[in-house]
Amino acid sequence: MTDDIERMLATPLSSDETAHLTGLEGRVWRRIEERQAQRRQGQVRLAVLAFALLVGVTNGGVLGQAFKPRPSDIQVFSVSAGLSPMTSVEVGG
């Protein structure tokens, strides 16, 4: 394997192969910078999401405790057989 690499390094490149290598280093560094930027964007998104979740949970907990509904004297949807309009007519019972 090492002999193959040494042989390949010893042979001169053709003009087509040289054209492919032109600007290779710049392209490699550009791709590295793009990946680093994408990684930073992902970290920023995660931080913003965590902060939004923290604010939502905090506000929900604090405001949920502050605005508890008071018990009402009139409960419209409660089950009270004595208040049913059918009991005054004595239908079904």
Indicate the range of 10-14, 26-30, 63-67, 69-73 predicted with least confidence.
69-73
Of 40 and 66, the structure prediction assigns the larger pLDDT to 40
Q: In the predicted model, what is the mean pLDDT of the chain?
A: 79
Confidence of residue 64 (pLDDT cuts 50, 70, 90): confident
Q: What pLDDT score was predicted for residue 53? A: 94
Q: What pLDDT score was predicted for residue 90? A: 62
Q: What pLDDT score was predicted for residue 8? A: 80
Residue from 35, 28, 32 nearest 43 by CA: 35
Coarse DSSP helix, strand, coil percentages of the chain, rounded to the nearest 5 percent: 70, 0, 30
